[in-house]
Chains A and B, each alone.
Chain A
Amino acid sequence: MLEATHISYKVKHKYLLRDISLRLHAGEVVAILGANGAGKSTLLKTIAGEIKPSEGNIYLNKKCINNWKSIDLAKVRGVLPQSVQLAFPMPVLETVLLGRFAFQMQESAEQSRRVAHWALQEVQLQDFKHRNINTLSGGEQQRVHLARVLTQIYEPTFSQAKFLLLDEPVSNLDIAQQHNLLELVKKLTRKLQLGVLIILHDMNLAAQYADQIIIMKHGHIIECGTPDKALVPETIHEAFGVESIVQTHPLYDCPQVITLQNTSNINLPNNIY
Chain B
Amino acid sequence: MVKPIEIASYRQVKKTIQQRLYTAVFSVKGLAVVTMLVAIASLFQGAYALSPKEIFDCIMAQFGWSEVTVPAGVSYMLFQLRLPRIILGLLVGATLASSGAALQALFRNPLADPGLVGVTSGAMLFAVFGIVFTTHIALIYNTLFLNYFTLTIFAFTGSLLTTWLVYRLSTFGNRTYVATMLLAGVAMSALAGAITGLFTYFSNESQLRDITFWTLGSLGSAQWIFVIVLLPICCVLFFLIIRQAPALNLLLLGEQEAAYAGVNIQRLKKTVIICTALGVGACVAACGVIGFVGLVVPHLLRLVRGTNYRWLLPASALLGGALLVVADTIARTAIAPAELPIGVLTALLGSPFFLWLLLKSRGRMAIHF
Interface mask (A18-47 → B, CB under 8 Å = 1, otherwise 0)? 000000000000000000000000000000
B250 touches A (CB below 8 Å): yes
B252 close to A (CB within 8 Å) = yes
Q: A88-B302, A91-B306, A134-B366 are in contact. Are A81 and B264 (CB under 8 A)?
A: no
User: B256 touches which one: A78, A81, A102 (CB < 8 A)?
Assistant: A81
Complex: how many Å from CA A73 to CA B264? 12
Considering only CB atoms and an 8 Å cut-off, how many residues of chain B contact the other chain?
A: 29
Is the Cβ of A81 less than 8 Å from the Cβ of B246? Answer: no
Q: Which of B98-150 contact A (CB under 8 A)?
A: 105, 108-110
Does A50 lie at the interface of the complex (its beta carbon under 8 Å from any beta carbon of B)?
A: yes
Complexed CA–CA distance, A89 and B307 (Å): 8
Q: Does A86 contact B (CB under 8 A)?
A: yes
A85: interface (CB < 8 Å): yes
For residue A199, CB closer than 8 A to chain B, the reply is no
What residues on A are CB-neighbors of B366 within 8 Å?
89, 134
Q: Does B308 contact A (CB under 8 A)?
A: yes
> Among the interface residues A71, A73, A87, A98, which one has the most CB atoms of the partner chain B within 10 A?
A87
Residue of A nearest to B367 (CB): A88
- Which of chain A's residues have a CB closer than 8 A to the CB of B53? none
Closest chain B CB from A79 CB (angstroms): 4
Q: Is the CB of A87 within 8 A of B252?
A: yes
Q: Quote the shortest CB–CB distance from A241 to chain B (angstroms).
A: 31
Question: Are B260 and A98 interface neighbours, CB within 8 A?
Answer: no
Residues of A within 8 A of B249 (CB): 98, 101
The answer to whether the Cβ of B210 comes within 8 Å of any Cβ in the partner chain is no
Chain A window 75-112, contacts with chain B (Cβ cutoff 8 Å), 1 for yes, 0 for no: 10011010011111111001000110110100000000
Quick one: closest B residue to A71, CB to CB?
Answer: B262
* Chain A interface residue count, Cβ-Cβ cutoff 8 angstroms: 28
Indicate if B362 sits at the interface (CB-CB under 8 A).
Answer: no
**Interface pair A94/B306, CB less than 8 Å apart:** yes
Q: In the complex, which residue of chain A has the Cβ closest to the Cβ of B368?
A: A85
- Docked Cα-Cα span, A71 to B268, in Å, equals 13
Chain A residues near B109 (CB, 8 Å)?
87
Q: In the complex, what's the smallest C-beta–C-beta distance from B17 to chain A, in angstroms?
A: 20
Q: Is the CB of A101 within 8 A of B254?
A: no
Q: In the complex the two chains form, is A48's CB within 8 Å of B260's CB? A: yes
From residue A265, how far is it (CB to closest CB) to chain B in Å? 46
Report if B247 contacts A (CB, 8 A): yes
- Contact A86 B364, CB 8 Å, known A71-B262, A78-B260, A94-B308: no
Q: Is the CB of B257 within 8 A of A81?
A: yes
Is B263 on the interface with A (CB-CB < 8 A)?
A: yes
Q: In this complex, what residue of A is CB-closest to B299?
A: A88
CA distance A86 to B260 in the complex (A): 15
Cross-chain contact B364 with A89 (CB below 8 angstroms): yes
Q: CA of A212 to CA of B109 in the docked complex: distance in angstroms?
A: 42
Which residues of B sit under 8 angstroms from A85, Cβ to Cβ? 254, 368-369
C-beta contact mask, B215-243 vs A, less than 8 Å → 1, else 0? 00000000000000000000000000000
Contact, CB under 8 Å: A70 / B252: no
A87 touches B257 (CB 8 A): no
Chain A residue numbers with a CB within 8 Å of B110 are 87-88
**Is the C-beta of A66 less than 8 angstroms from some C-beta in chain B?**
no
Measured in the bound complex, the distance between the Cα atoms of B261 and A73 in whole Å is: 8
Would you call B246 and A101 a contact (CB within 8 A)?
yes
Distance of A132 Cα from B252 Cα, bound (Å): 14
Distance in angstroms between the alpha carbons of A81 and B254 in the assembled complex? 11
Is B259 positioned at the interface, with any CB of A under 8 Å from its CB? yes
B21 at the A interface (CB under 8 A): no
Q: Which residues of A57-80 are within 8 A (CB) of B?
A: 70-75, 78-79
How far is B108's CA from A84's CA once the two chains are assembled, in angstroms? 13
Q: Which residues of chain B are within 8 angstroms of A91 by Cβ–Cβ distance?
A: 306
Contact B108 A132 (CB under 8 A): no
Query: Interface 1/0s, chain B 251-276, versus A by CB < 8 A?
Result: 11110110111111000000000000
Nearest-CB residue, chain B, relative to A87: B108
Indicate whether A70 sits within 8 Å of B262 (C-beta atoms), given known contacts A87-B105, A90-B252. yes
Which residues of chain A have C-beta atoms less than 8 A from B262's C-beta?
A: 70-75, 101-102, 152
Q: B253 near A86 (CB under 8 angstroms)?
A: yes
A102 to B302: give the CA distance in the assembly, Å: 25
Q: Which residue of B lies closest to A84 (CB)?
A: B253
Q: List 8 A-B contacts (CB under 8 A).
A: A71-B264, A79-B260, A85-B369, A86-B252, A90-B308, A99-B261, A104-B246, A132-B364
Across chains A and B, which 9 residue pairs bring their CB atoms closest together, nearest first? A74-B262, A102-B262, A87-B108, A71-B262, A88-B307, A79-B260, A87-B252, A101-B261, A86-B252
Residues of A within 8 A of B (CB): 48, 50, 70-75, 78-79, 81, 84-91, 94, 98-99, 101-102, 104, 132, 134, 152
Using a CB–CB cutoff of 8 Å, the interface residues on chain B facing chain A are 105, 108-110, 246-247, 249-254, 256-257, 259-264, 302, 306-308, 364, 366-369
- Beyond A71-B262, A81-B256, 19 additional contacts (C-beta under 8 Å) are A50-B256, A72-B262, A78-B260, A81-B257, A84-B254, A85-B369, A87-B252, A87-B254, A87-B367, A88-B302, A89-B364, A90-B306, A90-B308, A98-B252, A99-B261, A101-B247, A101-B262, A101-B263, A134-B366
